[in-house]
Amino acid sequence: MTGNNTTSGWKVVATTAIITAVSLKAIECGWKVYVSGEGSKKSKDDLELEKELALIKKSQKSSQGYSEELFQEQLARNYAFLGEEGMTKIKETSVIVCGVGGVGSSVVTYLIRSGIQRIKIIDFDQVSLSSLNRHSCATLADVGKPKVEVLKEHMTQVAPWCDIEVINKLWTLKDADELLQFSNGDKPDWVVDCIDNIETKCDLIEYLHKNKIQMISSMGAATKSDPTRINVGDISNTEEDGLARACRRKLKKRGVIDNVPVIFSSEKPDPNKAKLMPLSEEEFQKGNVDQLSSLKNFRVRILPVLGTMPAIFGLTITTWMLCKIAGYPLEPIVGKNRIKVYDTLLQPLAGQNLRLGGESERIPIAVADIPYIVEEVFRGKSPVSGESTRLQLSKWDKSKPLSLQNTVLMTRNEVKEHEKRHLLGDENLDQIYSNETLELVEKRFKEEEWYSQFR
């Protein structure tokens, strides 16, 4: 480059440098204006964020660490869902959670996040590295710390309004009266059982049942993987759950047969799925292997657990509890996903239609309608007795044609009696069934009529 060209080149470089410097300065100033909100109108989101941050700072300066305004703002969506009355009931409810592993830690976390203001958590164990796949809030820094202390530390940062009591010891029957009360002697409104040890679990359930304390118990999440098979129901209706089966047998000997709400999975075992792992001779030598799991000779700590399943169990328990406490409409389906039951229900209904004078076994109800009738319309149980086993479908009112709004779910014995007295007999429905049963069946049919517009 020579002469004028050299001079021109340097001018270009200099000009470019000046423009770049000015541009960078402009960007810097613009960023400051954006962050500070100066020079432009703040957006609605910016103003809302400022309001929330100011509310947090104000609450932190409060003697109690929070204000009612903070509580209502933080739980605004829950208030919108459950209403003022429902949230008041939740605020006034006290809960004790026994066992805070994968299931229990999720229960504690989301009860507190949802507005529970008084809770006590009981567990003897510490956070381990292998438990981080399922614990609701523990971190690497928490390994080795008591689970109850970790939960309290984390949840105090989320919900300063909650009075959290912790007991770092094993729940035992001999200490039941002391453990199942708060420090001032108050009894809990609810107790949640998330204990793994089968003997201790049965002791707790029996104690709660006999003392008429509201409860819900978690059955086994280990080796389970299908979230669609999770059920909430009575322990007497559980299926495909080894822990529930073992508890049923032990509790029956103690006179506890039903009225124990539980969460369980009806997922069936499969050769291609995770299995319980056998113990080595070294493990047997450690002793008491039978006391550490729902099945003989297996330790809880070596059960294969997909980390998400305990959380789903815990969230299901919490959702069920919140709705029950708040009085929100809730009617869980009992024994859902019973494929074998669906397969065997259609043919008897078609055969009944033929016995009642139909020209053939062809009926206006398809195989695809069976799960809908069983689960959605009748919630998996007979409206006559409330039973959920040995079920069968039947025409209800003989004066009306068979349809989705004239098909009822009963036990097999109830169907036989119904045919004998009404469908093939001379008795009217009101001569056979109570007003309560008649009203319930009519309610179910009206619900189906409403549902049918969306099918």
Residue 240 above 50 pLDDT? yes
- Nearest CA among 91, 322, 303 for reference residue 192: 322
Does residue 337 or residue 213 have the better pLDDT?
Answer: 213
Band (229; pLDDT cuts 50, 70, 90): confident
List, in order, residues 6 or more apart from 126 with CB less than 8 Å away: 143, 144, 145, 146, 147
Residues 135 and 177 in one domain: yes
Q: Is residue 38 part of a domain?
A: no
Percent of residues, the chain, with pLDDT higher than 70: 80
Can you say whether the dihedral through the CA atoms of 414, 420, 424, 429 is positive or negative?
negative
Question: Is 148 within a domain?
Answer: yes
Question: How confident is residue 31, by pLDDT bands cut at 50, 70 and 90?
Answer: very low
Domain stop point among 273, 301, 326: 326
Q: Is residue 286 one of the residues assigned to a domain?
A: yes
pLDDT at residue 272 in the model: 73
Considering the domain boundaries, does residue 394 fall inside one?
Answer: yes
Bigger pLDDT: 60 vs 86: 86
Q: Quick check: 280 pLDDT over 80?
A: no
The CATH number covering residue 176 comes to: 3.40.50.720
State the pLDDT at residue 41. Answer: 65
Q: Could you tell me if 385 and 255 lie in one domain?
A: no
**pLDDT of 288-305, one tens digit each?**
544 444 334 334 446 788
Do 296 and 203 share a structural domain?
A: yes
Q: What is the pLDDT of residue 30?
A: 43
Do 252 and 354 share a domain, yes or no?
no
Q: What does the pLDDT read at residue 325?
A: 97
Average pLDDT over residues 115-127: 95
The total number of structural domains that make up the chain: 2
- pLDDT surpasses 90 at 308: yes
* Domain endpoint, select from 298, 326, 354: 326
- Could you tell me if residue 447 is inside a domain? yes
Question: Does 61 reside within a domain?
Answer: no
Q: Do 320 and 343 reside in the same domain of the chain?
A: no
The per-residue pLDDT for range 412-425, each reduced to its tens digit, is 999 999 999 999 99
Note whether 175 and 306 are same-domain residues: yes
Whole-number pLDDT of residue 285: 52
Find residue 190's DSSP bridge partners: 95, 214
* In-domain check, residue 64: no
Q: Kindly state the percentage of the chain with pLDDT values over 90.
A: 53
Is 372 within a domain?
yes
Question: What mean pLDDT value characterizes the chain?
Answer: 83
Band of residue 70 on the pLDDT scale cut at 50, 70, 90: confident
Domain of residue 247 covers: 75-326
pLDDT at 151: 96
Please check whether residues 251 and 152 belong to one and the same domain.
Answer: yes
Question: Are 112 and 256 members of one domain?
Answer: yes
Residues 291, 434: one domain? no
Higher pLDDT, 41 or 379: 379
User: Do 270 and 194 belong to one domain?
Assistant: yes
Domain termination site, one of 326, 358, 383? 326
Confidence (pLDDT) at 62 = 64
Q: Sign of the CA dihedral 23, 29, 34, 40?
A: negative
The residue with greater pLDDT, 161 or 455, is: 161
317 against 390, higher pLDDT: 317
Residue corresponding to tokens 């729940």: 171
Considering only residues 275 and 369, tell me which one the structure prediction assigns the higher pLDDT: 369
Same domain, 136 and 114: yes
315 and 357 part of one domain: no
